Structure 1
Amino acid sequence: MSESVLRLKDIYKSYLMGEDEQTVLKSVDLDIKKGEFVSVLGPSGSGKSTLMNIIGLLDEPTSGHYSLSGNKVDHLDERELAAVRNKEIGFIFQQFQLLQKLSALQNTELPLIYTGMPAKERRKRAEEMLARVGLAEKMQNRPNQLSGGQQQRVAIARALVTGPSILLADEPTGALDQKTGQQIMNLFRELHEEGKTIIMITHDLEVAKNGSRIVRILDGELAEVTQS
């Protein structure tokens, strides 16, 4: 596990609040190797959402350098960023972000539409991912016919379907009860054991402990956490 899949170097992020400049991220360095499961742990207001948006190419740093799969991405235009985002990053959100009028299979297929993959191949790939997350019998169900845990499994299948370099999960158990949340974490650990690179943003130390490495963010600065 030697090559870096993601590298942030000296990342700053500031926002103009009226006439005042507020620095949200300060000299952030983060190096994530292929196959790691890294938890980014921090309370509300710590800068973790801003960090997630920069990692996910949804926001740009004010200064610093960002490399993803060995390619610099900090100076790409919006069209180029969208293409990299769709190819390299699988997003998993707290509130699932599923389209209610589409089936589990159609929701899972969505990212592949933008790649130009033929419909037959797209469907086969989506079916494989849903089977992988334990939803082979629920492919035609719409989100309102699924439990919260099942909806999050659809979201994970959708994140996996393009074969991304990293899975980026934002509070993935936040909308679930404890038992269902633990089932989702078990799935994350399985994916990690299969070699997937996972970055999980969370405020919950117990959830963070599912990662192989914990990085704490506080007041916009990162610090490694030693696990006992």
Structure 2
Amino acid sequence: MGEILMMQDIVKCYYLDAEELTVLNKVNLIVNQGEFVSVLGPSGSGKSTLMNIIGCLDVPTRGKYILADQNVEDLDEKELARIRNREIGFVFQSFHLLPRLNALENVELPMIYAGISPENRHKKAAEILERVGLADKIRHYPNQLSGGQQQRVAIARSVVTEPTILLADEPTGALDQKTGKQIMQLFQELNAEGRTIIMITHDTNIAKYSKRVVNILDGRLSEGTESDVKGIYENGMEQYCSQ
């Protein structure tokens, strides 16, 4: 399996009233094709900032980021938009489905931007919705679907163009425990098919569904064991997880 993502000494700073605030501090991360990696940390740890950089929604202040053999530092805004569309499939906590489009039409959206013909995108969208268990819901609108079904539509939309990485941000955060478990089992199935998944989460129980856990705290990454993970939350950080 080849390396598809490499971060070297990534630093991200923000400036507030001339004061520098370091949110990510010399982050190093390598993800290989076919991995399922969780980035685990409490609120305020820097995981959202890291997600934005991985997803090319933001750029680092310093450091090197290579995604699919491309140096992100060298890309302009148009090229960043292109790499987001081609290389990354996004899954968000709040689904981000368009309410006036049915499930099939929501899944078709990325293929419209990719210039795929109507006939081909209809066929592919229907196939991927069947894959996530929604063959009988393709004409339903978001308000006619449960939260778990909406997240399945969002996952179908994220993978329909076969991106290099599936990037999930707290994908079960708006779901009940049973439905969240079903969504995580779907992620495991997609990973078993060879899809590379990076998931951002604060929940140790959700992180356990991945094959590898990377801890983030105070803007620093560390490869974690289960005892390391427990330590993050036992040292006065657990209150952030309910926010």
5+ unaligned residues in a row in structure 2: which ranges?
A: 228-243
Which stretches of structure 1, 4 residues or longer, exceed 2 Å deviation after superposition?
none
Q: Which one-letter code corresponds to 2:100 in the other structure?
A: K
Counterpart position of 2:239: none
Provide the residue aligned with 1:152 in structure 2.
151
- Tell me what 1:119 maps to: 118
TM-score between both structures, scaled by the size of structure 2: 0.92
Distance, in Å, in 1 between the alignment partners of 2:92 and 2:72 is 23
1:172 aligns with 171
Counterpart AA for 2:107: T
Is 2:14 aligned against 1:15? yes
RMSD after superposition: 0.9
Aligned AA for 1:63? R
Q: Is 1:209 the counterpart of 2:208 in the alignment?
A: yes
Q: Which amino acid in 2 is paired with 1:214? A: V
Shift of 1:93: 0.1
- 1:44 maps to 43
Aligned-partner Cα distance in 1 for 2:62–2:31: 20
Matched, 1:97 2:96: yes
**Which residue of 1 is the match for residue 107 of structure 2?**
108
Which residue does the alignment assign to 2:32?
A: 33
The number of equivalent residue pairs is 227
Which secondary structure state, in structure 1, belongs to the residue aligned with residue 135 of structure 2? coil
Aligned-residue offset at 1:101: 0.5
Q: Which residue of 2 aligns with 1:189?
A: 188
Q: For residue 121 of structure 1, give the secondary structure of its aligned residue in structure 2.
A: helix
Question: 1:125 and 1:226 mapped to 2: Cα distance?
Answer: 40
Structure 1 counterpart of 2:234? none
Amino-acid identity (%): 63
- Comparing both structures, which one devotes a greater share of its residues to helix? 2
Q: Which runs of 5+ in 1 are unaligned?
A: none
**Aligned twin of 1:88:** 87
1:227 Cα deviation after fit? 4.7
Q: Which residue of 2 aligns with 1:53?
A: 52
User: C-alpha separation between the residues in 2 aligned to 1:174 and 1:205?
Assistant: 13
**CA-CA distance at 1:226 after TM superposition:** 2.3
**How many angstroms does 1:207 deviate by?**
0.3
SS in 2 for 1:35: coil
